[in-house]
Amino acid sequence: MAMATPAAGIPVHSAVPSTTESLSPIWHPSPNFGPRRDGLTPSLIVLHYTAMDSAQDALDRLCDPVHEVSAHYLIGVDGTFWQMVRERDRAWHAGAGEWHGQNDINSRSIGIELDNTGRHPFSEPQMNVLERLLRQIMHRWAIHPNGVIGHSDMAPGRKFDPGSRFDWLRLERNALAGRRGDPEGPRDAPVDQFRALARAAGFSADVDDETLLSAVRLRYRPWGKGPLRSADLAPLTKQT
Ligand SMILES: [Zn+2]
């Protein structure tokens, strides 16, 4: 029997859940937000871990006016997720720092908190929701994969989340983060070249060599130890 052809513009339904189907967060408003400055709209998505013991603890803190912190979204270990600030508004998640020479990251970004202490892997339901949410936000605001960054990328030495357990490669493979460069990379590792490559990749904050190396390793090779090596430069080359 021939399959009926759907009329133009009507999506074909499938038993497989679509990765683009709409997600419905639990609306749990935070008072900690303001307007985006200078007419800015989101061009970045900043990923965080909560460093707290439970999603409920994080939710309480992110909605407490005393603490003056928030994020647009929080995703729990079991995939439950909450929205605390409208995407059009400026949540208070990034703080001081810069990326590609630009500051006021809060006015330029959407902030997503992941319920994780920083010491254990991120659960599959949580990663699954994160991926679906990223796709939707990236589509809504035309954000390039290179615009998906970690808090530690823009605040080296001050912030360490989403941390060494976060699976950046998974996001890269799914075009949800900028792909790292050639694993062969350069043969030598002069610090000047490292700093230039890191800056070109976005790591523009004014920090010392060691702090910069720690931040780059946290993102690309958290197992890396000791002095600068050519392997530290490789992920920063030929990024797309
Ligand atoms: Zn953070």
Spacing of C-alpha 100 from chain mean position: 15
With CA atoms as reference, report the closest residue to 43 among 174, 154, 179.
154
**pTM of the predicted structure, to 2 decimals:** 0.90
pLDDT of residue 5: 42
| List of the chain residues with pLDDT < 70 | 1-21, 239-240
pLDDT of residue 187: 80
Residue 124 and residue 149: Cα distance in Å, rounded? 20
**Active-site residue, selected from the candidate residues 21, 87, 98, 113:** 113
Cβ neighbour number for residue 124 with a 10 Å cutoff = 10
> What's the 195 CA to ligand 1 centre distance in angstroms?
23
Query: Which residues, in sequence order, are bridge partners of residue 34?
Result: 90
Active site residue 113: yes
Ligand 1 (ion): residues with CB under 5 Å are 48, 151, 161
- Which helix (H) or strand (E) segment holds residue 99: the answer is none
Residue 133 and residue 47: Cα distance in Å, rounded? 12
> What's the 14 CA to ligand 1 centre distance in angstroms?
37
What tens digit of pLDDT does each residue of 103-117 get? 999 999 999 999 999
Domains of the chain: 26-173 (3.40.80.10), 191-236 (no CATH)
pLDDT of residue 1: 42
> What's the 71 CA to ligand 1 centre distance in angstroms?
9
Q: Are residues 155 and 50 in contact, defined by beta-carbon separation less than 8 angstroms?
A: no
pLDDT of residue 240: 53
With CA atoms as reference, report the closest residue to 94 among 158, 26, 25.
158
Per-residue tokens: 155: 């605040």
Per-residue tokens: 224: 């890396």
> What's the 93 CA to ligand 1 centre distance in angstroms?
6
Query: Which residues, in sequence order, are bridge partners of residue 47?
Result: 112, 150
pLDDT of residue 183: 77
Residue 44 and residue 137: Cα distance in Å, rounded? 10
